[in-house]
Amino acid sequence: MIQNYSQLIERISKSSGMAAEEIDRRVEAKRAKLSGLISKEGAAQIVASELGINFEKEKMKISELLPGMKRVNIIGKVIKLFPVRNFSKNGREGKVVSMIIADETANIRTALWDTNHIQLIESKKIKEGDVVEISNASIRNTELHLTNFSGIKPSLERIEDVKTEKMYFDRKISDFVSGENIRTRAVIVQMFEPRFFEICPECNKKAIKDAEGSRCEAHGKIMPIKRALLTLVLDDGNSNTRAVMFSEGIEKIGIKEIENTEEFLKKKEELMGDELYFAGNVRQNKVFNTNELIIEDLQQLDVEHLIEQLETKTKG
């Protein structure tokens, strides 16, 4: 999905002949009119529509897709295919299947809801490694969804080099949207004592304690695995958010022995005030009714690269 707001502005500028600065001004005016309840990308789409720009008939690259887009047309390779799943909702039975579609620019999780589309998967007419052509789909949060009004079929096009790594949006904390995979630059301003819990080694669901030890609803009696959870508060200079790290992420931040209180307190003192890039999934915390970030990865700031970006922006 689009990582850079400027990409969209450049695309609108090229199609309309209007200066990028003027488009950006209209986007900010649109957001102000809507009291900031819409993202910059969403406001840019409205501005594009008002300028008579229609991307719906074009085949787009996955990196160009944005939340809220409709009538999306893409060509991509199926790099991951998940099992068909049955569901029951509001008294209606149905099936859904998910896959990861990739091209040379990015990848996106894709959901098929139409029985005719799902039959293509069940009959293996579409399988992992196949290139497919998708038409008239829509973006919900960060996923591509196909309904009975959409189309999917095998394509004769060849796509060799595809992006397989998980994709993240660059976002300020104030622009977080629940369900999105984001990357944000922020400072650690608080770190709380770690909490511990046990999970099933088969399905990773929380283990249930009983008189005989530990069990899993799906797998019965188990030997649970101990996991850690660390809660942080991140601040980007304008907003802050609660963030959560699990065992693997805690190791990435440099805490090797989380149960060692002395090591934890020492590392906490070192990390407080550090500015990093944090990547993960935004979800709604139902207890506090706010968004929080589930951290999946983090990176140190590349100061030299930041200086180069600032110099390029200044020259531009």
pLDDT digits (tens, 9 = 90+) for 174-224: 988 887 888 999 999 999 999 999 999 888 888 998 888 899 988 889 999
* E strands present in 20-154: 72-81, 85-89, 92-102, 107-112, 131-140, 143-146, 151-154
Q: Report the CATH number of the 56-164 domain.
A: 2.40.50.140
Q: How far apart are CA 54 and CA 47, in angstroms?
A: 11
What confidence score (pLDDT) does residue 175 get? 86
Residue 46: what are its φ and ψ, rounded to 5°?
-65, -45
Task: Give yes or no for residue 119 having a pLDDT over 50.
Answer: yes
What confidence score (pLDDT) does residue 315 get? 54
Task: Give yes or no for residue 248 having a pLDDT over 70.
Answer: yes
262: CB partners within 8 A, 6+ apart: none
Q: How far apart are CA 124 and CA 95, in angstroms?
A: 16
Residue 96: what are its φ and ψ, rounded to 5°?
-145, 145
Task: Give yes or no for residue 97 having a pLDDT over 90.
Answer: yes
Q: Find out whether 78 and 99 touch, Cβ atoms under 8 Å.
A: yes
Task: Give yes or no for residue 2 having a pLDDT over 50.
Answer: no
| DSSP-derived secondary structure letter, 6 | H
What confidence score (pLDDT) does residue 184 get? 94
What confidence score (pLDDT) does residue 265 get? 92
What confidence score (pLDDT) does residue 312 get? 57
Domain boundaries, the chain: 1-54, 56-164, 169-199+225-315
| Residue in the structure block whose two tokens are 């991140």 | 234
pLDDT band at 1 (very low <50, low <70, confident <90, very high): very low
What confidence score (pLDDT) does residue 3 get? 47
Q: Find out whether 111 and 171 touch, Cβ atoms under 8 Å.
A: no
Task: Give yes or no for residue 26 having a pLDDT over 90.
Answer: yes
What confidence score (pLDDT) does residue 10 get? 82
Nearest alpha-carbon partner for 48 in 30, 75, 71:
30
Q: Whole-number mean pLDDT of the chain?
A: 87
Task: Give yes or no for residue 42 having a pLDDT over 80.
Answer: no
What confidence score (pLDDT) does residue 303 get? 65
Q: What is the mean pLDDT of residues 23-45?
A: 83
> Apex CA 176: angle with CA 171 and CA 182, to 5°?
50
Write the CA distances from 88 to 95, 96, 146, 238, integer angstroms: 9, 11, 18, 43
CATH 2.40.50.140: does it fit domain 169-199+225-315?
A: yes
What confidence score (pLDDT) does residue 313 get? 53
Same fold yes or no, 56-164 and 169-199+225-315: yes
Write the CA distances from 150 to 109, 114, 128, 139, 244, integer angstroms: 16, 9, 20, 12, 37
Q: What secondary structure does DSSP assign to 171-212, as a single string?
A: --GGG--TT-EEEEEEEEEEEPPPEEEEE-TTT-PBPEEETT
